[in-house]
Amino acid sequence: MPTRAAVLRCSQMAWARWALAASMALAGFGLPTPVLAGKAGEVTDLSGVVVVRKADGQSRVLAVKSDVEEGDVVATTGNSYARVKFADGTQAVLRPGAQVKVVAFRFEEQQPKQDNVVLSLLKGGMRIVTGLSGKRNPEGFRVETPSAIVGIRGTNFGLQFCRDDCAQLVTARGGAPANGLHADVSDGAISLRTQAGSLVIGIGQFAFVQGPAMLPVLLSPREGTRIVLPPQAVSPLRHGGTVGEGGGLECEI
């Protein structure tokens, strides 16, 4: 039987494959991380400077194994990345220049219907692989963004919110992505809900939401924006192996 330490030592696997395997191991062996009062998860990997703004307004620099609590806003700087593992096994990787708030987090092993995970993407991009909460009570898991509310159905997905700050990203057609929310799904499905309506996208699909009053739009692979790790993020990260190498994913997480 593989141990948790053995899973964490996997060094040449793509992030999506590693995270999905870790989630399956947690579900199969019944070993969710105990939830301490106020604690939602912890930083498992980072590169560069990553800071957290606490609910009381104080800020501090994060390190590997730093706790992330309900109410925290985790922010990456221009060339920084951070991976946060939540107590239910959910994993989130923040791209450079991202800000993500842990709005709510409740996970109790014996009360699956009480699971409640709410994240808010305030700025930038991130990629998420959902854990036990997403499997046991998907209705209780959502990601809020300035353009749409994202619901999940057990999944691996990427989100990028652009507001005149995505010039460094390039679409398949060339040029920077338009302002708004860009989404792609590698596994499972997500729903995008706005004031105008909703859209469900599945494996290999892309979508765009210009704003909260606009309908989500399904895009072709040529039109869509895939949320990936740039080349500088391929360097080995502590405890997480080499992100983006192996598995043929070409830096994609």
Q: What are the tens digits of pLDDT across the range 217-243?
A: 999 998 898 888 655 444 433 333 333
Q: Is the pLDDT of residue 135 over 50?
A: yes
SS3 state of residue 38: coil
SS3 state of residue 135: helix
pLDDT band at 251 (very low <50, low <70, confident <90, very high): very low
CA dist 26 and 213 (Å) reads: 39
HEC letters along 152-180: ECCCEEEEEEECCCCCCCCCCCCCCCCCE
Most confident residue range from 12-16, 207-211, 243-247: 207-211
Q: Is the pLDDT of residue 153 over 50?
A: yes
Residue 130 burial (CB count, 10 A): 28
| Residue spans of alpha helices (H) in the chain | 4-8, 15-29, 132-136
- % of the chain beyond a pLDDT of 90: 63
Q: Is the pLDDT of residue 244 over 80?
A: no
Give the phi and the psi of residue 233 in degrees, each rounded to 5. Answer: -90, 5
What structural domains and CATH numbers belong to the chain?
Answer: 35-228 (2.60.120.1440)
What's the average model confidence in pLDDT over 32-60? Answer: 84
Give the phi and the psi of residue 76 in degrees, each rounded to 5. Answer: -105, 145
What's the average model confidence in pLDDT over 184-208? Answer: 97
Q: What are the tens digits of pLDDT across the range 50-106?
A: 999 999 999 999 999 999 999 999 999 988 999 999 999 999 999 999 999 999 999
CA dist 234 and 251 (Å) reads: 7
| 209 CB-near residues (< 8 Å, 6+ apart) | 145, 147, 148, 180, 181, 183, 192, 194, 215, 216, 217
CA dist 62 and 82 (Å) reads: 9
Look at phi and psi of residue 17 and say left if phi exceeds 0, alpha if psi is from -120 to 50, else beta.
alpha
Q: Assess contact for 192 and 211: CB atoms under 8 A.
A: no
The separation between CA 142 and the C-alpha centre of its own chain, rounded to angstroms, equals: 11
Q: Is the pLDDT of residue 249 over 60?
A: no
